[in-house]
Amino acid sequence: MTRIENTFAALRAEGRKAFVAYIMAGDPNVDTSLALMKGLPGAGVDVIELGLPFTDPMADGPTIQEAGQRALAGHMTLDQTLGMVRAFREDDDETPIVLMGYYNPIYSRGVDRFLSQAREAGIDGLIIVDLPPEEDDELCIPAQKAGLNFIRLATPTTDDKRLPKVLENTSGFVYYVSITGITGAAAAQAAEVGPEVARIKAQTDLPVIVGFGIRTPDTAREIAGTADGCVVGSAIVSEMASGRKTEDVLAFVKSLADGAHSA
């Protein structure tokens, strides 16, 4: 079992919901983002999503796009991102890390080489938003063979005809996007999310985690209550962008985690 699968099994045994936090590698610089990353487990984060900066992040809203631009302006690279993971693993061998981004940097590196390096660094799963299920032979299936979970996104437009294809080679968990559009664009609504999560869970035994549009502890609790947990990204990245101290950002993260865990 991967760290992701072990974590969700432990949460299920405890009757607890998961809290997943997204940060952008290298935003605003390597040292600050690594310090934040190292503090996330202590703030109640069960799974870390680490953004890989990319020049054309088409699925991301302005907040995360700007975070990626700041990271790239600081010359953040794939190698430095993997280096952050290695540094994190020096002190934490349990918290799952999911690398989230786009296929181009991986393709440029070479899939086999990338997967070997990612596994060695301590990455547990991948979310690659621009690779549809029809392209599973490109990365999804090789990643699974290498021991990494490949996490797929389902959205409000993923109908019952499309859903089985989306779920076919997914592992670790399913990431349900609670709104139509880019990250950070609107607020998630539990009344709308609940039926969609139930529809997905009727077709898979995987945990379903809901992301997009979660900015407050109350919303984290409400959304986590409809699913197996929730993801917060843009709200955390916004706190970093505002120049707040790392400890203050971690306090904000803890408030969100407490909200999700109280569901």
255 CB-contact burial (10 Å; exposed 0-12 / middle 13-18 / buried 19+): middle
Verify whether residue 49 is a known catalytic residue: yes
- Max CA pair span of the chain: 47
> What does the pLDDT read at residue 111?
98
The Cβ of residue 116 has, within 10 Å, a number of other Cβ atoms equal to 12
Domain ranges of the chain: 3-258
Query: 246-261 vs 217-224: helix axis angle to the nearest 10?
Result: 40
> What does the pLDDT read at residue 187?
61
Candidates 27, 46, 49, 136; catalytic one: 49
Verify whether residue 120 is a known catalytic residue: no
Angle (nearest 5°) at CA 98 between 261 and 252: 40
Residue 223 token pair: 């959304």
Please answer whether residues 177 and 142 qualify as being in contact, where contact means their C-beta atoms are separated by less than 8 angstroms. Answer: no
The pLDDT averaged over each successive group of 10 residues in the chain (263 residues) is: 97 97 97 98 98 89 94 96 98 98 97 98 97 96 98 94 96 89 57 91 97 93 95 96 96 98 96
Dist. CA 8–CA 3, nearest whole Å: 9
Dist. CA 152–CA 126, nearest whole Å: 9
Candidates 5, 46, 60, 239; catalytic one: 60
User: In what helix (H) or strand (E) does residue 49 lie, and over which residues does it extend?
Assistant: strand 47-51
pTM of the model: 0.95
> What does the pLDDT read at residue 192?
85
Architecture of domain 3-258: Alpha-Beta Barrel (3.20)
